[in-house]
Structure 1
Amino acid sequence: MANINPTEASKSFFRIDLRCLILCLCLFFVFLALANSLHAAYKVQHGLLLRHSFDTNRAYAEKLAHATNSFFESSAQALQAAALDITETRLDPAAIQNEFDQLASITDAFDAIIAVDISGKIIAAKPRSAFLNAFLEAPQARELLNAKEATAISGAFKGPGDRWMSIVAHPVFSSDGGYAGFVGGTVLLQSGSALQSALTKLHYQEGAYFYIVDAERRIVYHPTQGLIGSRSEDMESAPAVPPGGRGTQYMSGVESDGQLISYAPIPFADWGVVAQRPVKLALSNIDELFWRTFYYSLPIFIISLLAIGWLSRLIANPLRQLADVAANLDNRANFSRIRFIKGWYLEAAMIREGLMQSFSAIGNRMRKLHREGTTDPLTGVVNRRGLETAIEELMETARNVAVVMIDVDHFKAVNDKFGHAVGDQVLKAITVLIMAEVRSEDVVARMGGDEFVALLPDTGLESARHFAERLRSTIEQTRFDIIGNVTISLGVACYPAHGDDLRGALARADAALYRAKAVGRNRVHLA
């Protein structure tokens, strides 16, 4: 039996176990993402189908209302013309009867045409046997006698033969202008009427239906004939909508999937159309859309599975590379090599990050030491060592550099009178004012004590003089805590105009500074 190295066995076990873990996690999240995508797609499609069905149902209700309103308006126009002719006949029954014969030949909208006097008696009718010499009994019909100025329509009521009907009426006036009654057309609300025939043609989809209610919420049209004449609130599936209202709503509990309800007004009659459509009808093809979405998702899903299988074989590669780097930290080539190692999972990424942080910490420490060696600890600007570095860089990059030497006037007196602590605060405040005036590419250094220098790359002598005057004026006008006001003296020079190199220009600016102090201080002197 061959001996097995425990170290190799543990490494092999770890590698297999980690790969299985990665595979399981990836497969889990791929399936989870697929399930979530399908669920989201199903919900979006469900919402879109419902919204489309709402819009379609609302448009259908509006179309029905418009068609019904047009039916009554055209009928009313025929009655209006007949009413004018009847007025000219001086309400002669025989002449009225002849007018009715002509009206019946023009329109088939009415099942009967009647003329009613102010007492409610029917004085002429077509056909005659239906209504002649009878009186209007139904309250809905007698209310038409009160509409003395415009065309009106009654609500649903039972007429002769216990048939539900409605009357469209137009007022009739005598030759002297007095109200004499009305001429009306009866519309049967059950089978056989022109209104029923027109509305029955507008049914557009199996399972969806509509009905019409009058101002008293009595049903004047319904595909189920037996419901005509009943009140809509007595129907189990009727929504609580006003007959003249307009809108759309969802009604649950009527059927297993609920109903989409849209309603629209019929302005002529103050009636309302209610269109109902089962939700299950609106969502009839959602299963087909769902499976089509799943079908289109399969290619990416299969590609993802193949990619996971391929990547799992490479999972150990980053660990091997990181382990090699960690084992050879003394090799400086690994500093750049580690940047190209990709961590395929958390552990590898954490190890890589830890190594990079270690290298970064070393680099930061070195940079910090360099920065501390080139920065003035009191003011935060560069010191003499940093100034030397800046001079070397500017000599290589800038065509001309302005040099402004700055010295605080009588600063020794400030230290002697108020102490060095106060003097240090003044130097800090002056540094802030100087930094506020310079640009980001300018260099400010503290030469020592109360003496500063500003290097202004790509700046001419005149621009440097303006800068120096502005800085001098700003400090002169600033009141410092405890000590009050101080002033500064400045010397300005420009490389290469005042020196073969930047250090020469620095010396010329220093000389100009001392001349400014010699002639009275608080002034700018040019080299």
Structure 2
Amino acid sequence: MAVDLRKLILALALLGAFLPFANTLHASYQVQRQQLMDSTLEGNLAYATKLAKSTDDFIQSAQLQLEYTAQLLVGQMGDAEKLGTEAARLRLMSKSFNSIVIFDDTGKVLATSPETLQLQGRILASAAVKESIRSRRPLISKPYLSATGNFIVLMVSPIRDPQGGFLGAIGGAIHLQKENILDRLLGQHFYHDGSYLFVVDGEGRIIYHPDGNRIGKVIRGNRAVDEVTHGGSGTASVVNSKGIPMLAGYAPVAATGWGVIAQRPRDVTLAPLTSLMRTVFFKTLPLAAVTVLLLWWCARVIARPLHMLADGARTMDQPETTQNIRSVRSWYFESRELKKAMLLGIGLFQKSITKLREDVNTDPLTGLGNRRHLQARLQELQERAMPFALVSLDIDHFKQVNDTWGHDVGDLVLKQLAMHMQDVSRVDDAPCRVGGEEFLLLLPGASVASAAQVAERLRQQVERASMAPVGQVTVSLGVAGWPESGQDVAAVFKRADEMLYAAKRGGRNRVEFSASPA
């Protein structure tokens, strides 16, 4: 007596009660995961905001130091010794700058600290110096390579006489690739769990980074950097230069347009949760394993006959299918009745399926693929996103052949042309007849240029052949490709037709092709 399938399904559904538990476990993980990530993002944002404020305070303090020193230098521009003394005092007392330079209104260096810079008497030609002379106002430069070979940021304050005349300027340089104030201000916040922070200027160029080799590099395609360089603050999940997913908080430095980005590896953030979920998993694993094994065994026993019958249904056009279905052990009622029905109909189906497939996809005159076959191949190529080329061709003056020799001879010419198309085709190519004397050759994976070579080979082969009793017959061909000739497949067909018409207008018996959209 066959077992009732509905009872088996009901028993299997009762065993499936463990699925809500798995769903609850998964949902709990997702919620806690998001909470951890949100907490880290918010912490990094607060951290970046704090450091951006600290950096902003330093910049303002450094500017005030320069402005104060600039006031002291009024009336001393001709005394090189005093200028040098003031430059050294500012550098050594403030510790804000790696070097100090004082220059006049022509950019000529009057004094430096340290003196080892050897710039005394030279004319500075950097864009920062020229801009400070032109604007005659305080400025903070973009990072640039100085005359001494240092990658620096220059802060400049003008020196004015009591009447407001411009005498020159004093500049303080931060050497980005050496120990500098940013290292002291930001370096102490470096973590050992992979977390770190870095600073970029308004163009995304790194001006501080724990890895000194990264300084001066321009970062592209990083959401946090893109937004902070436009004055924005917030959080983002990004991928760093080493391909590590990071959770970043970012904030701008108001005085300079710089941006501070603090970030932590996502995996480090989620490590405690991963450990917790692993513990829970191993605690429940024994019972879950027993349940899964029982479910698997029941499902396998129940599904095996249906699975084998389904395999037979998918291969009903194969000769061995009948024997395979007979060997199925249908031990319950539903599968046994299904087996009987399949054996009853499979004989007739196998006889008709082969002829039906040929009739559906084949042109009865030439044996080439028809429009339905062409559409099926096109759909397959589109699903796989595989480029293809299309050759559109027809027989030159074919109407004269029919009018002179009759339609029977015309059909013979069409058949011979089909043979030539098959000769030049690869295994995966699809030569098709789509109209009276209109043919298409679909070339998967081919470029327009290579398809044009195939088209030319076909044209020459047809031209050399003698098609009795007509004699010489020629063809005109147009070539286009997807996506080279257009993103839309219909546009590629249209482009191939346009190239065919161009070949006709150009004198026939020729190939025209286009590798660009109309």
Q: TM-score, normalised by structure 2?
A: 0.49
